[in-house]
């Protein structure tokens, strides 16, 4: 939870103009695309509406790119119960029902339309130049981020940068990613050199996101745009990209932006202890958790403190309500929570939820083998066997698919002790009982800690990757208590990103852009799991992980209704027409 609350204003979601039928054509009451935004207040309200789309997607996290990227990667399996087919199908790059992720498609395009509307109208507002540049830069950043997620999930999605009605059509990947990169470059260029701490993005966030988008596009598409090129194991990244305005963005220029973010942004690593980044070290939980007690740990976001490592996050608040927007709660935490226990005492300090994304045994095994003394492993992965004396047992209360005995600590709900009782969410104690839209002991609505999307550690690792040096890698390793590496290699960089950024929805696009996805995913086949509490192995579906990846390049099925409504202008992605793409049941 943070002080900034993004609430959608009256006009933030307006899609088109309104025609007056009176003699006086001036509309004095209704805000429309013809007269909005007209004032500074309008622009601020419209910008809030673009940000609110982050929470809008949080209302149905199971449809989102962040969720799919977690489950599809080799960080996690699918999990959930026998009827949670969407969780298991995302893990296996399969489809469980018609329009499985359509809500995400609709939501993100609504966010893009809001950004387009503001960008189309901002020139009509009298604003100080610095204020105009900040607002325009934020809108361009958010449009680029929303397109980044859509393009990562579905590939060649329809591209529009105007609020005017246009027929949807599929651009080339070069055209789509060129626009994403241009928006991010423009945002970085026009926003003032001022770090934001109020939940808004700034020029340095744009620089960081530019690095992320650059690395994905220039790696993923380095061999071409067809399926064979995308699934090739050859990796030789592009060094320049043509942008829509006729200019060229080069690797050296991107390095300059990342260097600026590292050197001048004011963002920094939380150097005290890696664990202080995660909510389980909050002041109401830390001394009651055996793993953290007595070690002087303190969550960096206690009591709304600003996290110096967070460049971009989804903000949540007390306004989540069944009748307004459940998206103001962190429903990602709920979905990844501990499944099926009688109460939080059995899995303390981690809270209850639906059991999505059990941590993959292959990740844990690779980590132990590669970096046996890495403190981040225990800080990131919960070995559920430690809860046995608390009453925990395999089976999730009777129904749990692909259970591994490992869970990610980063996204889980966090409980707290309250005298002799338990609070299902530590937020109930930290933020008080007043102001909640619902009962303050509600495990579905009261997870309101931030979901961090870009950390400074990621920027340091991008810097090392782009410059092919050890500087950023070793700064990150130092915090983890590890010795520095003496020379750069791609393998060392890949390992460091895997360990540092595990369970942050980053690994999926990493293994795709490095062209190692099929091999990495195949390591999940036949790993030890539990099905409804009984020992089992993770069996292949649809031909197996590598087969499904090579059939799709990791792009998910475009919602069928969107294809049907396009009158032939949107083609379905490869790999989604046959029966082998359909997941029916474990």
- Calpha distance 455→457 (Å, rounded): 5
Structure token pair of residue 94 = 């399969």
The arithmetic mean of pLDDT across residues 130-150, rounded, is 98
Decide: 330 and 351 in contact? Cβ < 8 Å: no
**131: Cβ contacts below 8 Å, ≥ 6 apart:** 40
Residue 33 has pLDDT above 90, yes or no: no
Average pLDDT on 400-404 reads 97
pLDDT above 80 (res 122)? yes
The full set of domains in the chain, from first to last, is: 40-73+97-264 (1.25.40.390)
Output the pLDDT for position 16: 33
What's the whole-number mean pLDDT along residues 132-161? 98
pLDDT above 90 (res 37)? no
Tell me how far apart the alpha carbons of residues 395 and 296 are, in angstroms, rounded to a whole number: 35
Look at strands 338-339 and 352-353 and give their pairing: parallel
Mean pLDDT throughout 430-437? 88
> How much of the chain, in percent, has pLDDT values that exceed 90?
86
First vs last Cα of the chain: how many Å apart? 37
Is the predicted pLDDT of residue 32 greater than 80, yes or no?
Answer: no
pLDDT of residue 168: 78
The pTM for the full model equals 0.94
Residues 472 and 481: their CA atoms lie apart, in Å, by 15
Burial of 490 (0-12, 13-18, 19+ CB in 10 A): exposed
Report whether the peptide linkage leading into residue 290 is cis, meaning its omega lies within 30 degrees of zero: no
d(CA 82, CA 88): 9
Torsion of CA 79, 80, 84, 90, to 10 degrees: -30
Q: What is the pLDDT of residue 342?
A: 72
Q: From CA 177, how far away is CA 216, in angstroms rounded?
A: 10
Q: How confident is the model at residue 492 (pLDDT cuts 50, 70, 90)?
A: very high
Q: What is the predicted pLDDT for the residue at 452?
A: 98
Neighbour-count burial for 36-67, b at 16+ CB within 10 Å, e otherwise: bbeeeebbebbbbbbbbbbbbbbbbbbbbbbb
Residue 78: is it exposed, middle or buried by C-beta count within 10 angstroms (0-12/13-18/19+)?
Answer: buried
Lowest model confidence (mean pLDDT) among 27-36, 492-501, 570-579: 27-36
Band of pLDDT at residue 25, cut at 50, 70 and 90: very low
Please provide residue 375's backbone torsions phi and psi, each rounded to the nearest 5 degrees: -65, -20
Q: Mean pLDDT throughout 524-530?
A: 97
**Band of the pLDDT at 29, cuts 50, 70, 90?**
very low
> Which segments of 326-438 are extended strands (E)?
338-339, 352-353, 381-383, 406-408, 416-418, 421-423
pLDDT in tens, 209-232: 999 999 999 999 999 999 999 999
Give the residue-averaged pLDDT of 550-555: 99
Q: What is the pLDDT of residue 322?
A: 86
Predicted confidence at residue 30, as pLDDT, reads 57
Is residue 282 very low, low, confident or very high in pLDDT (cuts 50, 70, 90)?
Answer: very high
Mean pLDDT of 335-355: 92
Is the C-alpha dihedral spanning 292, 298, 304, 307 positive or negative? Answer: negative
What tokens appear for 40 in the block? 């500074």
What is the per-residue pLDDT across 77-121, written as a single tens digit (0 to 9) for each?
Answer: 999 999 999 999 999 999 999 999 999 999 999 999 999 999 999
- Amino acid 293: pLDDT: 98
Percent of the chain residues past pLDDT 70, beyond the cut:
94
CB 17 within 8 A of CB 32: yes
What is the reported pLDDT for 31? 65
Mean pLDDT of 327-335: 97
**Nearest CA among 484, 483, 503, 480 for reference residue 272:** 480
Q: Residue 340's pLDDT is what?
A: 86
Across the chain, mean pLDDT equals 93
Q: What is the rounded CA–CA span in Å between residue 328 and residue 258?
A: 31
Spatial contact of 326 and 306, defined as CB atoms under 8 Å apart: no
The pLDDT-based confidence of 1 (bands split at 50, 70, 90) is low
What interhelical angle do 129-154 and 102-121 show, nearest 10? 160
In this predicted structure, what is the pLDDT of residue 36?
77
Euclidean distance between CA atoms 377 and 558, whole angstroms? 35
519 or 36, which is more confident: 519
CB neighbours of residue 253 within 10 Å: 16
């Amino acid at each position: 939870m943070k002080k900034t609350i993004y609430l959608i204003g009256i006009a933030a979601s307006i899609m088109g103009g309104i025609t007056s039928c009176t003699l006086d054509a001036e509309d004095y009451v209704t805000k429309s695309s013809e007269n909005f935004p007209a004032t500074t207040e309008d622009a601020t309200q419209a910008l809030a509406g673009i940000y609110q789309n982050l929470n809008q997607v949080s209302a149905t996290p199971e449809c989102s790119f962040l969720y799919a990227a977690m489950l599809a990667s080799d960080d996690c399996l699918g999990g959930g119960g026998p009827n949670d087919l969407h969780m298991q199908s995302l893990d296996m790059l399969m489809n469980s029902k018609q329009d499985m992720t359509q809500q995400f498609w609709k939501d993100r395009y609504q966010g893009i339309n809001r950004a387009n509307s503001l960008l189309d109208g901002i020139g009509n507002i009298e604003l100080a130049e610095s204020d105009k540049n900040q607002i325009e830069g934020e809108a361009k950043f958010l449009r680029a981020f929303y397109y980044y997620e859509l393009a990562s999930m579905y590939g060649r999605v329809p591209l529009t940068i105007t609020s005017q009605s246009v027929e949807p059509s599929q651009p080339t990947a070069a055209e789509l990613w060129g626009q994403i990169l241009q928006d991010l470059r423009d945002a970085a260029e026009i926003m003032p050199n001022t770090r934001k701490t109020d939940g808004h993005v700034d020029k340095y966030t744009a620089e960081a996101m530019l690095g992320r988008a650059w690395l994905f596009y220039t790696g993923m598409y380095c061999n071409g745009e067809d399926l064979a090129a995308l699934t090739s194991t050859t990796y030789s990244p592009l060094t320049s990209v043509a942008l829509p305005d006729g200019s060229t963005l080069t690797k050296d220029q991107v390095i300059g932006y990342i260097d600026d973010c590292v050197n001048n942004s004011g963002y920094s690593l939380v150097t005290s202890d890696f664990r202080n980044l995660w909510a389980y070290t909050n002041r109401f939980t830390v001394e009651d958790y055996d793993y953290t007690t007595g070690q002087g740990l303190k969550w960096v976001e206690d009591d709304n403190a600003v996290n110096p490592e967070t460049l971009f996050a989804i903000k949540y608040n007390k306004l989540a309500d069944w009748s307004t927007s459940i998206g103001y709660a962190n429903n990602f935490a709920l979905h990844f929570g501990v499944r099926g226990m009688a109460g939080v005492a059995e899995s303390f300090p981690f809270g209850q939820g639906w059991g999505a994304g059990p941590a993959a045994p292959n990740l844990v095994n690779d980590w132990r083998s590669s970096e046996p003394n890495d403190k981040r492993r225990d800080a990131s992965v919960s070995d559920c066997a430690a809860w046995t004396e608390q009453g925990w047992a395999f089976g999730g209360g009777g129904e749990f698919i692909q259970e591994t005995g490992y869970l990610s600590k980063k996204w889980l709900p966090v409980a707290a002790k309250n005298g002799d009782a338990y609070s299902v969410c530590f937020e109930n104690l930290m933020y008080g009982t007043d102001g909640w839209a619902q009962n303050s002991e509600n495990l579905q609505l009261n997870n309101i800690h931030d979901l961090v999307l870009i950390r400074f550690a990621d920027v340091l690792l991008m810097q090392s990757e782009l410059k092919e040096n050890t500087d950023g890698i070793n700064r990150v390793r130092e915090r983890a208590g590890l010795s520095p590496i003496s020379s750069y290699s791609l393998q060392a960089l890949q390992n460091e990103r895997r360990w540092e950024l595990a369970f942050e929805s980053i690994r999926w696009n990493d293994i795709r852009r490095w062209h190692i996805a099929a091999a990495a995913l195949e390591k999940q086949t036949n790993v030890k799991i539990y099905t409804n509490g009984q020992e089992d192995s993770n069996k292949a579906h649809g031909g197996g992980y590598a087969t499904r990846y090579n059939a799709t390049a990791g792009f998910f099925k475009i919602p069928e209704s969107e294809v049907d409504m396009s009158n032939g202008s949107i083609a379905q992605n490869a790999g989604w027409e046959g029966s082998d793409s359909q997941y029916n049941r474990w």
